[in-house]
A and B are shown apart, each in its own frame.
Chain A
């Protein structure tokens, strides 16, 4: 493996659009993921996190199209790979975990057959050798009685068990990068921690770069090296996990933090961000968060927020924020 300092994954200005939708679901997104690093992608549902993940795999749902930008993975231009090259990439060099593990398993196919697929298509295992390896993998992901479980169907597994199976299938192709799209959201609270621990354990052992998609800031603080916060198809804040969590700069990140603490306010109500982000993409000018933003009015910059969209500006420590409130008045001339 190429151990250079060059990041494993570089996304530049990625734009994804669906026909019939006036604005792109992902709009000029840039991210990097270093080797062995955990980057958390955070945001509300509908902010474009999952679409980002599926774009990397080039598995967007029907109609979805990457209309601009570049994706470089380990020196290769992902968007210009042929279908055949892309098949080798998927499961072999980048693997993915999903939100609903049970729905992700073919109901008519046994667990072992599905885990064995990357072994057989990417690593040239024969049937028997693959089945042996599947048992090892099941053991590695903490499944007791692997010989029995290997012959199960998805409906015979609990959610946590199904996600362990998906992890085994993801690891079986020995990838360099793991994309985990809300891997614990659909699971029982007690199981969530186990699955996260398993993912963390395995990615340390295998030096797996991990793109962790979540809306749970507790998960971020436990696992992530860096965080990118997404709102309405754009990155609004990005930086080292510690910096972003301890001193969030963007009003949206701050609001997310306050909401996730689940502390009631003076009137005894749980905090929530007023309004909804579903139509934020349709704003044609100004900051996409400004209709829901409290900082805009507090700082008396509401008219600027309405007029033009701020750029993603880094501070001295590489902590980037897309907000006028963070940039003092001097910017108004620019």
Chain B
């Protein structure tokens, strides 16, 4: 167990190093001169004084060889300093910290809603394949997978914010502002979680130990609660982690529509502004966090599965 963990951490370290190099290089490869962009945005003039450009370049340390820049950036990043945003001039680390907090709250709420609906629904569908619940579930899954968020979000705003006036239409001021975006964001993962739960439960319900539990006199319901759910929800743990990692920087549409100051919007703006330090820092943070989340999910999977826990994986 501990050697496994140690091995894992070592691999993670190497992965992060590779990712940091990529994150560092991408803005340079993508072309364009950030210094010009910054200066143009400040003086609002296409004819920027070349001397000013040069001075700015030296000021930002962009005149040094790339390897030196990478080394310096990495060293500072390891100390939690990701530099200053070209656009706002504020520390990248603190901006990312705020945005990540917002995105994690949004993602966890959305995925929580998704799992809370999907696990009971998928289980119910699996206990009576082809039944009413199962058919309704299949329809729901297909609808949710096929409904784009950029359509659903404005519809939600129209109905619940503008027409009914129950919820705020945008912003990030109170928990009520979380309800609409989190619900819209939850539908697709809900559909996938339901399918995964249903498939896993169908498998589990065929397992010999389910027959054995029934032979001891447990009702179907008791059997599912005691022996089905735990085994059947294992795959959902993995999917939950994958979605969480994906939503951290990936809920751009929702964050832009609902004016939520999260990671997606931060990176979106950083791309538009050619904000190199923000892009580098954002990319590295998201990847590092994703790796962390998946590691936690693996550990959780192991914790829920005693056979894997002691190395008896089948």
On whether the two chains bind one another, the answer is: yes
Other-chain residue from A95, A114, A154 in contact with B213 (beta carbon distance below 8 A): A114
Other-chain residue from A59, A83, A107, A166 in contact with B307 (beta carbon distance below 8 A): A107
Determine if A155 and B310 form an interchain contact, defined as CB atoms under 8 angstroms apart. yes
Determine if A118 and B216 form an interchain contact, defined as CB atoms under 8 angstroms apart. yes
Interface size class of A (residues with CB under 8 A): 35 or more
Other-chain residue from A62, A92, A156 in contact with B217 (beta carbon distance below 8 A): A92
Other-chain residue from A83, A108, A118, A169 in contact with B219 (beta carbon distance below 8 A): A83
Residue of A nearest to B306 (CB): A153
Determine if A169 and B209 form an interchain contact, defined as CB atoms under 8 angstroms apart. no
In the complex, what residues of B have CB within 8 A of residue A201's CB?
A: none
- Kindly state the separation between the CA atoms of A100 and B211 in the bound complex, as whole angstroms: 12
Other-chain residue from A83, A84, A107, A121 in contact with B306 (beta carbon distance below 8 A): A107
- Kindly state the separation between the CA atoms of A113 and B216 in the bound complex, as whole angstroms: 12
- Kindly state the separation between the CA atoms of A95 and B216 in the bound complex, as whole angstroms: 7
In the complex, what residues of B have CB within 8 A of residue A155's CB?
A: 306-307, 310, 312
Determine if A108 and B304 form an interchain contact, defined as CB atoms under 8 angstroms apart. yes
Q: Kindly supply a per-residue 1/0 record for chain B positions 136-150, scoring 1 wherever the CB is within 8 Å of any chain A CB and 0 otherwise.
A: 000000000000000
Residue of B nearest to A58 (CB): B214
Other-chain residue from B215, B219, B220, B310 in contact with A156 (beta carbon distance below 8 A): B310
Determine if B231 and A153 form an interchain contact, defined as CB atoms under 8 angstroms apart. no
Interface size class of B (residues with CB under 8 A): 20 to 34
User: Does B10 sit at the interface, judged by CB under 8 A?
Assistant: no
- Kindly state the separation between the CA atoms of A70 and B77 in the bound complex, as whole angstroms: 77
In the complex, what residues of B have CB within 8 A of residue A238's CB?
A: none
Chain A, range 82-128, C-beta contacts under 8 Å to B: 83-84, 87-92, 95-96, 98, 100, 103-109, 113-114, 117-118, 121-122
Tell which of B67-75, B180-188, B222-230 binds the partner. B222-230
User: Does B17 sit at the interface, judged by CB under 8 A?
Assistant: no
Determine if B227 and A90 form an interchain contact, defined as CB atoms under 8 angstroms apart. no
- Kindly state the separation between the CA atoms of A154 and B209 in the bound complex, as whole angstroms: 11
User: Does B271 sit at the interface, judged by CB under 8 A?
Assistant: no
Q: Which residues of A are interface residues toward B (Cβ below 8 A)?
A: 54, 57, 59, 61-62, 83-84, 87-92, 95-96, 98, 100, 103-109, 113-114, 117-118, 121-122, 153-156, 166, 169-170, 173
Q: List 18 A-B contacts (CB under 8 A).
A: A57-B215, A62-B206, A87-B218, A90-B216, A90-B217, A91-B215, A91-B217, A107-B305, A108-B230, A108-B306, A113-B226, A118-B216, A121-B217, A153-B306, A154-B209, A155-B306, A156-B310, A173-B216
* A-B residue pairs, 9 tightest by C-beta: A91-B217, A91-B216, A104-B212, A153-B306, A155-B312, A103-B208, A155-B307, A96-B215, A90-B217
